[in-house]
Amino acid sequence: MGTLLQVKNLQTKFYTQDGVVNAVNGVSLELGEGETLGIVGESGSGKSVTMLSVMRLIPQPPGKIVSGEVIFDGRDLLKLDEEEMRQVRGNRIAMVFQDPMTSLNPVLTINTQISEALQLHMQMDKEAARKRTIELLQMVGIPSAASRIDDYPHQFSGGMRQRVMIAMGLSCNPQLLIADEPTTALDVTIQAQIIDLVKRLKREIGMAIIWITHDLGVVAGLAERVVVMYAGYIVEEAPVKEMYINPRHPYTLGLLKSIPRLDEMRKTTLTPIEGLPPDLITLPKGCPFAPRCPYVIEKCIEENPPLMVTMSTRHRSACWRWQDVHKETSTAPAAVA
Amino acid sequence: MAGTNGNKILLEVKGLKKHFPITQGIIFQRQIGAIKAVDGLDFFIRRGETLGLVGESGCGKSTTGRAILQLHRPTAGEVLFEGQDLVKMKGEQLRRLRRRMQMIFQDPYASLNPRMTVGDIIGEPLEVHGIARGKEAKERVQELLQVVGLNPYFVNRYPHEFSGGQRQRIGVARALAVNPDFIVCDEPISALDVSIQAQLINLLEELQDKFHLTYLFIAHDLSVVRHISDRVAVMYLGRIVELADRDELYYRPLHPYTKALLSAVPIPDPLVEEKRERIILTGDVPSPANPPSGCPFHTRCPIMQRPICVETVPEWREARPGHWVACHFA
């Protein structure tokens, strides 16, 4: 499996009236061709800003990519000019956003919106683009696609709009699909439909996927590898099973212990993570999780730990005490109905 | 949770309906239809228990909570609080009972008045209901802040100085101020981050034990509802389709909608997820302005049979002791 995307030491800041917001603080990650990567984090953890930086969609000002490289297919995207970047965006890398209600243009038909990309990037004529649009809508499971193609976004439900967004994302056969909380605004039964669809499309088309979410459940069934972010840093990175069975960062462990599971056997007490995430304007000098961490020692306050190799080279944790971080056996998986 | 106070019923709902009129015309408004947000509910809540109410957006779960508290006056039906029908009450009589029923809202940003200090927000119900005023009220407010895990010195601060989780605690303190028996929690944690949600869930559970509270817990997150509830009711398109003890509902669901809903919830465990079979429902929830004939779920149901499901509304029956369901084939 070749490397498709390589992010090296990415730093993105926002210059606001209140001060400099350190949104992404030196993120490095890799993605193989056809791989599915989950990025998990809470609001303000920098997961969306990281991917918006990769796509160069950060509003500048107030935002600024301060440093780093984004190597996609051998080229540093951060060094491309705007015209070259347009050739990548939508064509090679596509992005699906959280809110299907606001990311479609309400005054244009679905056909116009999807055909535009096809005509621009694939040099199709109007007729061919329309034909391809119908195919795409069928592929994402929109019933009677041929007649619905001339409808406007408001004529579709939330789940259907997200399907339209995915069809649009896939229109130019991208090598990478970045999905930013694509199911958060949807109901669970509709979420299940969308996840099912994305898994099927991945099997059929074989593109790589980066799935950004705050829901540890969604990632468990979808991703091959998971990255956990906190306060603009990657705090843990591991293959999906490793991450859930053997988490080696107190934040990951804390998240897993604080969410109720549908399959919990008996009434358990949740163990919340105490306190609040840090203010991104005045980040502590040590580990950003130290103020909330039950494993905290002197060193954590003095020095921010880098991502360190733990059990295997594929499992890395940014914790000085990763060897002491263990999941108790009492939370072993239970049978599911 | 239940049990300490016996199995006495605190609240009973009979045939509850809430229809919102759809009107046409500017000066002479004619009613041309109705959104049947809640369309005939029957259930009860025991003293000291938590009844979870789950369903997808637009199924009428929030309207149910508001109709019980008479914040929306029901179109039909009875809401019996300790045997007294709230629907028939008005004015002073209702206001006096309201003191015993409170609500915690979903959005911690919209449900607190930004121009009032925390002290005034929590103290207002004390004055309105003539429980305490002046110095006494202030002391009570500080005590309440401590109960919900906030610093008592926060009384003079404004809501914008707090995080989402802290604001939600203020909302909880306000609800507790009048020593209620019954609290409707309308998606109280949905707007909060994952690591903060558990803090609030634990707080609500602690308070229930401490003050013998009865909760109607409304949420769309099945994992959370299963965790906090003693019994769970599943709503679809204005009706309750199934109601049972939390474990019974989870291990032996009867209604095809409940089964699909349970199977759709992701479990944070890759080993479990690998082996799970999902029931993927087709299509979307129909409009409550024009609900399907017969069983409201028949348009998406994997076991639908003609003609009965299309023509006849399934009866709400007790299929097993304490396990109620509305399905012809369950």
pTM recorded for the entire structure: 0.86
Report the chain B residue with the minimal C-alpha distance to residue A159. B284
In chain B, residues with a C-beta closer than 8 Å to the C-beta of A263 are 250, 267, 269, 272
From residue A51, give the alpha-carbon distance in Å to each of A7, A179, A219, B73. Answer: 10, 9, 17, 48
**Alpha helices (runs of H) in chain A, residue ranges in sequence order:** 47-54, 82-88, 110-122, 126-139, 145-148, 158-170, 188-205, 216-220, 240-245, 250-258, 298-302
A9: helix, coil or strand?
strand
Residue % of chain B over a pLDDT of 90:
62
User: Rounded to an integer, what distance in angstroms lies between the CA atom of residue B274 and that of residue A241?
Assistant: 10
Distance CA B103, CA B123 (A): 16
Contact yes or no for A62/A55 (Cβ under 8 A): no
- Chain centroid, CA B101 distance in Å: 13
pLDDT higher than threshold 80 for residue B5: no
Q: How far is it, in rounded angstroms, from Cα B207 to Cα B2? A: 14
Residues A11-48: tens digit of each pLDDT:
999 998 888 999 999 999 999 999 999 999 988 899 99
User: Which tens digit of pLDDT belongs to each residue from A282-296?
Assistant: 888 899 999 999 999
Query: Which pLDDT score is estimated for A330?
Result: 40
Put simply, whether B201 touches A (Cβ < 8 Å) is: yes
- Tell me if residue B234 falls in helix, strand or coil: strand
More confident residue, B28 or B42: B42
Pairing of strands B84-85, B30-46: unpaired
Confidence band, pLDDT 50/70/90 cuts, at residue B195: confident
> Residue B210 corresponds to which tokens in the numbers above?
């401490």
% of chain A residues with pLDDT over 70: 96
Q: Which residues of A fall within a CB distance of 8 Å from B263? A: 192
Cα dihedral: B279, B284, B287, B290 (round 10)? -70
Among A220, A269, A277, the residue with its CB nearest the CB of B267 is A220
Residue B6's pLDDT band, with cuts at 50, 70 and 90, is: low
| Mean pLDDT of all residues in B44-72 | 92
pLDDT exceeds cutoff 70 at A337: no
Nearest to A270 among B57, B198, B270 (CB): B198
Average pLDDT over residues B93-113: 89
Q: What DSSP line would sit under B269-294, residue for residue?
A: -HHHHHHPPP-PPPS-PPPTTSPPSS
**Contacts B223 to A, Cβ<8 Å:** 217, 259-262
List all residues of chain B from 12 to 41 with a beta carbon under 8 Å from chain A.
Answer: none
pLDDT of B42: 95
Q: CB distance B266–A196 less than 8 Å?
A: no
Pairing, β A19-32 against β A176-180: unpaired
pLDDT confidence bin for A72, thresholds 50/70/90: very high
Give the list of residues 6+ apart from residue A196 with CB closer than 8 angstroms, or none. B278, B280
Tokens of B126: 């004390």
Are the C-beta atoms of residues B54 and B261 closer than 8 Å to each other? yes
> What per-residue confidence (pLDDT) applies to B142?
92
pLDDT single digits (tens) A132-167 = 999 888 888 888 888 889 999 888 887 788 888 888
Cβ–Cβ of B194/A216 closer than 8 Å?
Answer: yes
Question: Which of A30-34, A266-270, B33-37, B97-101 bottoms out in mean pLDDT, i.e. has the lowest?
Answer: A266-270
pLDDT of the residue at A328: 65
- The secondary structure of residue A279, as a DSSP letter, is P
B289 CA to chain A: closest CA distance, Å? 15
* Averaged pLDDT, A227-242: 95
Residues of A in contact with B274 (CB under 8 A): 221
Q: Do residues A172 and A129 touch, judged by C-beta distance below 8 A?
A: no
Residue B194 sits at the chain A interface (C-beta within 8 Å): yes
Per-residue pLDDT band for B203 (boundaries 50, 70, 90) equals very high
Residues of A in contact with B253 (CB under 8 A): 337
pLDDT at B4 over 80: no
Q: % helix / strand / coil in chain B, to the nearest 5?
A: 35, 25, 40
Provide the pLDDT for residue B88: 92
Sort A233 into a burial class: Cβ within 10 Å, 0-12 / 13-18 / 19+.
buried
pLDDT at A331 over 70: no
Q: Give how far Cα B46 sits from Cα of A41, A245, B60, B207, Å.
A: 39, 39, 22, 17
**Cα–Cα distance between A224 and B182 in angstroms, integer?**
45
Beta bridge partners of B234: B54, B242
Query: Residue for token digits 């004390």?
Result: B126
Amino acid, single-letter form, for residue B49: E
User: Which of A144, A257, A259, A292 to substitute to test the interface with B, most B CBs within 10 Å?
Assistant: A259
Higher pLDDT, B134 or A21: A21
pLDDT at residue B314, as a whole number: 94
A157 with B284: Cβ contact below 8 A: yes
- CA–CA dist B94, A293 (Å, integer): 48
Pairwise pLDDT comparison (A171 vs B41), residue with the higher score: B41
The whole-number pLDDT of residue A332 equals: 39
The residue that leads in pLDDT, B181 or A336, is: B181
Contact state of B220 with A187 under an 8 Å Cβ cutoff: yes
Whether the Cβ atoms of residue B217 and residue B288 lie closer than 8 Å to each other: no
Cβ–Cβ < 8 Å for B168, B192: yes
φ and ψ at residue A71, rounded to 5 degrees: -90, 115
**B194-211 and B164-176 helices cross at what angle (nearest 10)?**
20
Q: Work out the mean pLDDT of chain B and round it to a whole number.
A: 90
Q: Which residues on neighbouring strands pair with residue B57, listed in sequence order?
A: none
Q: How far apart are CA A203 and CA B235, in angstroms?
A: 35
Determine phi and psi for B7, rounding to 5 degrees: -105, 30
Rounded CA-CA distance A199/A213 in Å is 16
Closest to A77 (Cα-Cα) out of A47, A57, A98, A96: A57
Q: Rounded to an integer, what is the distance from CA A126 to the centroid of its chain?
A: 33
Whether the pLDDT of residue A336 is over 80: the answer is no
